[in-house]
Structure 1
Amino acid sequence: MINISQCYSTGTIKGVSKVGGLIGFCSNTTITDCYSIGNLEESPGWENAGYAREYLFRYFGGLIGTTSLGVITNCYSCGKVADVPYAGYTQYEYHGFMGPSEYGDENTVASLYFDVSKAGRTDNFAVAKSTQEMKQQNTFIGWDFIGIWRIGGGVNEGYPYLLFSYTPSEGLNVFIITDIGLKQVTEMYLITDMGLKKASQSNIIADTGLK
């Protein structure tokens, strides 16, 4: 089985079939701790592609177009899922998180979410949440917000992001516990004998001995 872990995408994805924010199609694959915040669009000029209509604009999903015999856990998507040129195919072919299995095989899924406000679609696999809910740590049940994920601090538009992918510009790596989960401190000030002093990670250690 193929393993895909701690991956993400942020750009706009275009296509005509099996289109996903991160993955278009896969089979026998474990996908965990991944996300996409990009939009999906139909490729322009599809009328001249030479394909019959029944093979076009199928299996669009915010994170995954379609998969079979997969295990998908702790993932989310929050992009817009295309403007559909054929209204009759809207609900079956376009999905907020993941399209149905092309071959009818079952997938094992757990703790998946998508921003229904942005996607404008329904989904049979992931839980629909509002944009506000998608920016709150307590939405993501069972996720590791210590070793894998972070949320807040003005990063990634407020959506969860992978810890490895972000380094604070000033090296200030301080978090506080709030009623909605961990939040990153973006500015800190120390009281000194000369008044308030803006702190970075380096002078916190130098001035107070904290690490």
Structure 2
Amino acid sequence: MTMFDLEPVARQSTAELIADRLRIAIMRGALAPGAQLGETDLAAKFDVSRGPVREAMQRLVSEGLLHSIRHRGIFVIELTMDDIEDVYFARAAIERGALCRILDGRREATHAALGPAVEMMLAAADRGDAAGVSDADQPYHEVLVQSSASPRLVRAARTLLIETRMCLGALQTTYEDVHEQVAEHAALRDAIGSGPGEIAYRLLADHMEDAVARLRVQRASVSGTSA
């Protein structure tokens, strides 16, 4: 191999780095739903010119995390209950597709890969850290989709997982006992490792349906309406 055979090392552009920071801020609620983003303010905070900020914001507009209102500006999306149901509908389809591939020859590797996320969730639950459980929930599902070895499923899942975290708002979790949340993920991991395939599919579907039901009750409680 000569030096001319070597490919350049991929580097994140400034716009990509800013987009990553903004995604995290949106996911964690530092940029609240409905918040307006200004190029000038963000450029000053990131200590960059307005160009990379503009590019980063447009990336998030295309991903659906920001939306542009003509003559008003760019805002963080606000998720309605219909949006939440659609998020989980799309996630169920993507993660079922990933599970199909996993069960076809990737079970052992996926079971091992999911282990650290389950351990993180359990440690957070044991110390009563609901936010920590939710923090570990996201990489669990990221690993699940990544284990399918499908770049397209991974890309499709990324925004949906951020939107999922946004659904929780400031409450961080819909579980009264976060150990129950951990148990659901551990059971799915075990089913992926050695259980019947139909059990894994059922556990995944139940997990998505239960999440929507919990969020519906949570939203109704916050708004003071009947579920």
Using structure 2 for the length normalisation, give the TM-score: 0.25
* Higher RCO (CA < 8 A, seq sep 6+): 2
Structure ID, larger Rg: 1
The structure richer in strand per residue is 1
